[in-house]
C-alpha cells in the first residue's frame, strides 16, 4: 500500500494484479490537464480543465478493446494519450505493455495508429501502397519475403480482388470506403505491431463495410496483438466482436470490463435494462441522464471506482438541469459537474467536489474490503477497483485524486514521487502485490526496457531511395503536375521571344531589355506557386508514416528535393533555349541556363517551406503572393540598390529576386558592346550596369549563383526543421 506524501484525506490504494491477467496494455491515473481562457462577468480568466481525469485500467492482449462514450467523453484524447500522441509534460500517469513501462518513443516503435481519415496516395494501387509500406517498415529483408508478406496481408484483409486497383480520391475512382480503410490498417500493421490503435475505424462506412473492417481487426487481435479502438454507436453485430469495453464520460471512467457484464453493472446501480434494448446503449443513456442532472457523471465515476451505489436521479434533479441550466446557486459548481473542474473565479476545483444538496461519501470514515461489500469472487472484465478510502470527519474532501506536488510534473509515465502504487483494475479477484504497480525510479540503472533494435528499419540512403521511387511513381501517374508548368514556361518563352526581339539601340531598347529580364525572374518565381499544395496534401501522410518511425524527416526532405531536380532542369533549359537564340542575348549560354535553374530551385524551396508552415491552401497562397510582392519591390528594378533607404536594405538582401535579376543583367552587360547610340555618346553594357549600381566584376555574377544556391539550401533546412520539430500529430 502506498500513500504519497501522507496528507490527511488523501486516497489510500490497496490493489494487486490478478493472476488471470496474461498481458496487454496497462495504464494508471492518466490525467491530461489543459488551460483554457473563459470570459466570466466581462473578465477573461485562465482555468485548468481535466480532459482526462485519473483513468486507470487495462487492455488485454489478443482482444479488441473498444473505447466508447457519449460525445465529448474524451475518447480520442484518451487514445492519443495511450499512443504517446500528447506532447511531453502534458499527460500524467503510467503506461506499461506486458509489464514493461513504456515511453512515447517505445510506443512509436511497438505500435501502429490508424487515423480516422484515410490518408493515402490516390494514384498508387493497393498492392503498391502495401509494398511501399513493407519497404519502409520491414527493413533489409529480401524482396521475395516482402512480397510474400504483402500477399498474405492482402488475403487476410480481403483485398485480393482490388490488389491492382488505384486507391482513388474525390476526382479519381478507386477502391470503396471499406476497402480503403482496410488498406490504411494494412499499411500500419505490415510490420506486426504489438499494439494497434484505431480512431473511429467505422466512421463514414455503411453497416456491411464497418462490420468487415472490425472483423479484420478482430482477426488481427486474435493473432496476438493488443487492439484498442474508439467507436461510436456500433451495431449489434460489431458489438459481438468486441472483447473489452472502456466507457468514458467527461474524461472519467464510467465502466470497464466485458460487454457481457454491462447488464450486471447496471443492475448493481439499480438500473434494469428494458426489454428489447441494448445494454451498452442503455448504459450510455444512463450516463447522459446523470450528465444532464445536478448530480453529474461524478456519481457514476465514484460507483465505477468504489462500488458505492450512485444516488438516483430525482425529478427535481432533472427539472433543475432542464429548466434552470445555469442557476445562480450552482454557479460555482456547474463547471464541476460538467467535468470542467473550475469555479467562476478561475480557481482549480476537483471534478468530484460535492454539492450542498446531496450527501457526500466523504462525510464519514469507511473502509471497503470489496467493491460491493460482499465476498463474492468476480471474474476478469468487470468495472471495479478495490480501493480503501480514508477520510477524517473534520476535514472536508476537496479532491478524490492523490496529492501531486506541482513542482514534479509527470511526462507520460513517470515521476519519482507520484503514482507509485496506483491501481490498475482487472477484476475484484485481486492478489495484493504493491510492487507490481510501483513506478521505478527514472535513471540508467532502474529503467530497463527490452531491446527493440534500431529506431528506423532502414538506413538513411535506403529511405531516400524508396521515397524517390514512390515520388517518381506518383509523378508518372499524375504527369499534369509537371506538364502544366512545362507548358506555361514554353508558351511564355515563345511569347517573350516574339515580343522583345530586335530591341532598338536607344534608351527605350535598353528599358525593353530590362523589362524582359525582370519579367523572366517573376515568371520563374510565380511558376513555382503550384508547389504550395505539394506538402499540404502530403502532410497527413508524412505525419502518419513518420510518427511511427517509417523514415526520417531528413530522408523525406532530401528525397523530395532530389526527385524534382531533373524536372526543374528541363524547365529551365526549355525556356532558355527558346528565348536565348531568338533574342540574341549576350554572355555565356551556360550561365543563363544555370541562373534560371538555381532561381527555380530557390523559389521552389521557398514555396515548399512556406507550405510546411501554413495550415491550408488559402494562407499558403496568400503568404507566397505577399512575399513575391515584397521581393519584387526590393529586387532593384523599381529602385536600384543605391536608392533604397538604408533601413530597407535588408529586404534587398533577402529578396530571392535580387540575385537572378542582377545576375542576368551582369551576364548580358558585362562587356563594352554598344546598346544605345545617343547624341551625347554611345552607351555600353558597362555603362548600363554602372547606372544601375550593379557590379561589373566578372566573378561577382558567379557569386550571385552561389548566394542564390545558399538561399535554396537555407529554405530546405528550414523545411526540414519544420518537418522534424513542428509537424507532429500531438496534442499540446
Do the domain assignments include residue 698?
Answer: yes
Do the domain assignments include residue 149?
Answer: no
Nearest to 200 by CA among 78, 55, 106: 78
How confident is residue 726, by pLDDT bands cut at 50, 70 and 90? confident
Predicted local distance difference test score (pLDDT) of residue 6: 36
pTM: 0.74
Q: What is the C-alpha to C-alpha distance for residues 132 and 153, in angstroms, rounded to an integer?
A: 14
| Cβ neighbours around 71 below 10 Å, total | 7
Radius of gyration, alpha carbons of the chain: 33
Question: Domain boundary at 203, 232, 258, which?
Answer: 258
Q: What is the C-alpha to C-alpha distance for residues 402 and 408, in angstroms, rounded to an integer?
A: 14
Of residues 727 and 30, more confidence is placed in: 30
Residue 707 has pLDDT above 90, yes or no: yes
Predicted local distance difference test score (pLDDT) of residue 549: 83
Q: What is the C-alpha to C-alpha distance for residues 309 and 361, in angstroms, rounded to an integer?
A: 10
SS3 content of the chain, % helix, strand, coil (to 5): 45, 15, 40
* 589-613 vs 507-526: helix crossing angle, rounded to 10: 40
DSSP tag of 724: I
Kindly give the pairing relationship between strand 226-230 and strand 195-199.
parallel
Task: Pinpoint the alpha helices (H) of 87-138.
Answer: 104-110, 126-137
Instruction: Point out the least confidently predicted range of 43-57, 498-512, 513-527.
Output: 43-57
Residues 6+ apart with CB under 8 A from 162: 126, 175, 179
DSSP class per residue in 272-333: -PPTTS-HHHHHHHHHHHHHHSSS-THHHHHHHHH-PPPPPPPHHHHHHHHH-SS-STTTTT
Instruction: Give the largest Cα separation in the chain, rounded.
Output: 115
Provide the domain count of the chain. 2
Report the chain's mean pLDDT, rounded to a whole number.
Answer: 78
Do the domain assignments include residue 278?
Answer: no
How confident is residue 330, by pLDDT bands cut at 50, 70 and 90? very low
Number of H helices, E strands in the chain: 23, 14
Q: What is the C-alpha to C-alpha distance for residues 58 and 169, in angstroms, rounded to an integer?
A: 38
Mean pLDDT, to the nearest integer, of 502-524?
Answer: 92
194, three cell numbers: 504489438
CA distances from 60 to 22, 199, 240, 304, 407 (A): 7, 18, 17, 19, 34
Q: Give residue for cell 501522410.
A: 541
Predicted local distance difference test score (pLDDT) of residue 88: 65
Question: Domain boundary at 258, 285, 309, which?
Answer: 258
Predicted local distance difference test score (pLDDT) of residue 621: 86
Burial class of residue 385 in the structure, from the number of CB atoms within 10 Å of its CB (0-12 exposed, 13-18 middle, 19+ buried): buried
Residues 6+ apart with CB under 8 A from 528: 600, 603, 604, 606, 607
Residue 402 has pLDDT above 80, yes or no: no
Residue 317 has pLDDT above 80, yes or no: no
On whether the CB atoms of residues 138 and 146 are closer than 8 A, the answer is yes
What are the tens digits of pLDDT across the range 63-89?
Answer: 999 999 988 889 999 998 898 888 767
Kindly give the pairing relationship between strand 91-97 and strand 195-199.
unpaired
DSSP class per residue in 294-310: SS-THHHHHHHHH-PPP
Q: 244 pairs with which residues across the strands?
A: 65
DSSP tag of 347: -
Predicted local distance difference test score (pLDDT) of residue 515: 93
Residues 6+ apart with CB under 8 A from 79: 67, 197, 199, 228, 229, 230
How confident is residue 452, by pLDDT bands cut at 50, 70 and 90? low
How confident is residue 61, by pLDDT bands cut at 50, 70 and 90? very high
Do the domain assignments include residue 271?
Answer: no
| Domain interval for residue 242 | 24-123+174-258
| Phi-psi label, residue 110: left if phi above 0, alpha if psi -120 to 50, beta otherwise | alpha
What are the tens digits of pLDDT across the range 590-601?
Answer: 999 999 999 999
What are the tens digits of pLDDT across the range 612-646?
Answer: 888 888 888 889 889 989 999 999 999 888 889 99
How confident is residue 502, by pLDDT bands cut at 50, 70 and 90? confident
On whether the CB atoms of residues 300 and 313 are closer than 8 A, the answer is no
Do the domain assignments include residue 364?
Answer: no
How confident is residue 378, by pLDDT bands cut at 50, 70 and 90? very low
Q: Which helix (H) or strand (E) holds 93?
A: strand 91-97
Mean pLDDT, to the nearest integer, of 295-306?
Answer: 88
Do the domain assignments include residue 55?
Answer: yes
Kindly give the pairing relationship between strand 91-97 and strand 100-101.
antiparallel
On whether the CB atoms of residues 231 and 221 are closer than 8 A, the answer is no
Predicted local distance difference test score (pLDDT) of residue 83: 87
What are the tens digits of pLDDT across the range 177-236?
Answer: 889 999 999 998 888 888 999 999 988 888 888 898 999 999 999 988 999 999 988 888
Residues 6+ apart with CB under 8 A from 345: 40, 45
396, three cell numbers: 472536508
Q: What is the C-alpha to C-alpha distance for residues 546 and 539, in angstroms, rounded to an integer?
A: 10
Question: Domain boundary at 230, 258, 286, which?
Answer: 258
Predicted local distance difference test score (pLDDT) of residue 255: 93
Of residues 150 and 418, more confidence is placed in: 150
Predicted local distance difference test score (pLDDT) of residue 355: 35
Q: What SS3 state is found at 445?
A: coil
Instruction: Point out the least confidently predicted range of 397-401, 553-557, 668-672.
Output: 397-401
Predicted local distance difference test score (pLDDT) of residue 109: 77
Burial class of residue 447 in the structure, from the number of CB atoms within 10 Å of its CB (0-12 exposed, 13-18 middle, 19+ buried): middle
Kindly give the pairing relationship between strand 111-114 and strand 195-199.
parallel
Report residue 623: phi and psi, to 5°.
-65, -45
On whether the CB atoms of residues 232 and 200 are closer than 8 A, the answer is yes
Predicted local distance difference test score (pLDDT) of residue 139: 85
Domain CATH code at residue 232 = 3.40.50.300
How confident is residue 433, by pLDDT bands cut at 50, 70 and 90? very low
Predicted local distance difference test score (pLDDT) of residue 714: 96
Q: Give residue for cell 447522459.
A: 288
Length of the chain: 732
CA distances from 148 to 240, 321, 593 (A): 32, 60, 48
Predicted local distance difference test score (pLDDT) of residue 315: 55
318, three cell numbers: 432533472
Nearest to 40 by CA among 354, 336, 347, 353: 347
Do the domain assignments include residue 657?
Answer: yes
Do the domain assignments include residue 546?
Answer: yes
Predicted local distance difference test score (pLDDT) of residue 10: 37
DSSP tag of 197: E
Q: What is the C-alpha to C-alpha distance for residues 503 and 510, in angstroms, rounded to an integer?
A: 8
What are the tens digits of pLDDT across the range 251-290?
Answer: 999 999 999 999 999 999 888 999 888 999 999 999 999 9
Q: What is the C-alpha to C-alpha distance for residues 241 and 221, in angstroms, rounded to an integer?
A: 11
Mean pLDDT, to the nearest integer, of 381-389?
Answer: 35
On whether the CB atoms of residues 302 and 361 are closer than 8 A, the answer is yes
Q: What is the C-alpha to C-alpha distance for residues 346 and 44, in angstroms, rounded to an integer?
A: 9
Amino acid at each position: 500500500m502506498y500513500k504519497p506524501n501522507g496528507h490527511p484525506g488523501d486516497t489510500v490504494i490497496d490493489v494487486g494484479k490478478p493472476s488471470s491477467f496474461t498481458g496487454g496494455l496497462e495504464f494508471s491515473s492518466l490525467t491530461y490537464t489543459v488551460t483554457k481562457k473563459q470570459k466570466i462577468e466581462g473578465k477573461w480568466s485562465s482555468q485548468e480543465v481535466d480532459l482526462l481525469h485519473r483513468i486507470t485500467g487495462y487492455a488485454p492482449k489478443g482482444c479488441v478493446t473498444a473505447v466508447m462514450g457519449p460525445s465529448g467523453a474524451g475518447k480520442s484524447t484518451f487514445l492519443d494519450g495511450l499512443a504517446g500522441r500528447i506532447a511531453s509534460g502534458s499527460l500524467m500517469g503510467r503506461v506499461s505493455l506486458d509489464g514493461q513501462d513504456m515511453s512515447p518513443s517505445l510506443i512509436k516503435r511497438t505500435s501502429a495508429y490508424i487515423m480516422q481519415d484515410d490518408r493515402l496516395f490516390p494514384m498508387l494501387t493497393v498492392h503498391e501502397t502495401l509494398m511501399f509500406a513493407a519497404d519502409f517498415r520491414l527493413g533489409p529483408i529480401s524482396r521475395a519475403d516482402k512480397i510474400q508478406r504483402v500477399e498474405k496481408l492482402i488475403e487476410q484483409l480481403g483485398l485480393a480482388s482490388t490488389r491492382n486497383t488505384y486507391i482513388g480520391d474525390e476526382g479519381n475512382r478507386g477502391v470503396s470506403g471499406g476497402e480503403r480503410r482496410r488498406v490504411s490498417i494494412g499499411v500500419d500493421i505490415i510490420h506486426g505491431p504489438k499494439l494497434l490503435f484505431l480512431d473511429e475505424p467505422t466512421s463514414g462506412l455503411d453497416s456491411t463495410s464497418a462490420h468487415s473492417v472490425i472483423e479484420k481487426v478482430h482477426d488481427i487481435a486474435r493473432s496476438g496483438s493488443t487492439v484498442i479502438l474508439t467507436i461510436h454507436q456500433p451495431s449489434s453485430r460489431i458489438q459481438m466482436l468486441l472483447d473489452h469495453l472502456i466507457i468514458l464520460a467527461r474524461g472519467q471512467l464510467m465502466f470497464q470490463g466485458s460487454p457481457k457484464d454491462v447488464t450486471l453493472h447496471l443492475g448493481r446501480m439499480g438500473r434494469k435494462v428494458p426489454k428489447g434494448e441494448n445494454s451498452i446503449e442503455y448504459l450510455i443513456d444512463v450516463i447522459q441522464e446523470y450528465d444532464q442532472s445536478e448530480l453529474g457523471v461524478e456519481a457514476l465515476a465514484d460507483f465505477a471506482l468504489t462500488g458505492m451505489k450512485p444516488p438516483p436521479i430525482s425529478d427535481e434533479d432533472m427539472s433543475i438541469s432542464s429548466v434552470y441550466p445555469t442557476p445562480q446557486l450552482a454557479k460555482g459548481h456547474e463547471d464541476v459537474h460538467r467535468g470542467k473542474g473550475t469555479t467562476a473565479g478561475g480557481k482549480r476545483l476537483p471534478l468530484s467536489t460535492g454539492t450542498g444538496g446531496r450527501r457526500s461519501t466523504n462525510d464519514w470514515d469507511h473502509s471497503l474490503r470489496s467493491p460491493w461489500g460482499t465476498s463474492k469472487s468476480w471474474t476478469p472484465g468487470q468495472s471495479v477497483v478495490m480501493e480503501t478510502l480514508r477520510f477524517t470527519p473534520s476535514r472536508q474532501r476537496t479532491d478524490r485524486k492523490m496529492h501531486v506536488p506541482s513542482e514534479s510534473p509527470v511526462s507520460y509515465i513517470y515521476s519519482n514521487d507520484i503514482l507509485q502504487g496506483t491501481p490498475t483494475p482487472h477484476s475484484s479477484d485481486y492478489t495484493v502485490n504493491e510492487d507490481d504497480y510501483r513506478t521505478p525510479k527514472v535513471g540508467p540503472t532502474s529503467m530497463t526496457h527490452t531491446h527493440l533494435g534500431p529506431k528506423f528499419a532502414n538506413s538513411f540512403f535506403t529511405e531516400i531511395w524508396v521515397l524517390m521511387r514512390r515520388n517518381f511513381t506518383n509523378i508518372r501517374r499524375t504527369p499534369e503536375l509537371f506538364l502544366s508548368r512545362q507548358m506555361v514556361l514554353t508558351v511564355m518563352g515563345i511569347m517573350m521571344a516574339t515580343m522583345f526581339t530586335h530591341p532598338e539601340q536607344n534608351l527605350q531598347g535598353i528599358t525593353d531589355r530590362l523589362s524582359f529580364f525582370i519579367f523572366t525572374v517573376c515568371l520563374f518565381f510565380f511558376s513555382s506557386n503550384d508547389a504550395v499544395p505539394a506538402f499540404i496534401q502530403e502532410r497527413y501522410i508524412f505525419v502518419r508514416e513518420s510518427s511511427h518511425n517509417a523514415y526520417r524527416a531528413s530522408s523525406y526532405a532530401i528525397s523530395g528535393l532530389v526527385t524534382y531536380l531533373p524536372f526543374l532542369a528541363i524547365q529551365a533549359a526549355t525556356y532558355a533555349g527558346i528565348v536565348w537564340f531568338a533574342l540574341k542575348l549576350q554572355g555565356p549560354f551556360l550561365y543563363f541556363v544555370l541562373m534560371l535553374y538555381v532561381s527555380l530551385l530557390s523559389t521552389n524551396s521557398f514555396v515548399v517551406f512556406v507550405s510546411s508552415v501554413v495550415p491550408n491552401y488559402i494562407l499558403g497562397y496568400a503568404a507566397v503572393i505577399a512575399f513575391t510582392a515584397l521581393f519584387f519591390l526590393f529586387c532593384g528594378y523599381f529602385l536600384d540598390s543605391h536608392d533604397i533607404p538604408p533601413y530597407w536594405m535588408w529586404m534587398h538582401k533577402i529578396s530571392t529576386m535580387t540575385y537572378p535579376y542582377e545576375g542576368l543583367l551582369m551576364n548580358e552587360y558585362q562587356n563594352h558592346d554598344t546598346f544605345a547610340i545617343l547624341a551625347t555618346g554611345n552607351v555600353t553594357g558597362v555603362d548600363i550596369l554602372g547606372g544601375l549600381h550593379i557590379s561589373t566584376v566578372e566573378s561577382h555574377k558567379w557569386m550571385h549563383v552561389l548566394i542564390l544556391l545558399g538561399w535554396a539550401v537555407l529554405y530546405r533546412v528550414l523545411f526540414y526543421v519544420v518537418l522534424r520539430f513542428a509537424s507532429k500529430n500531438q496534442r499540446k
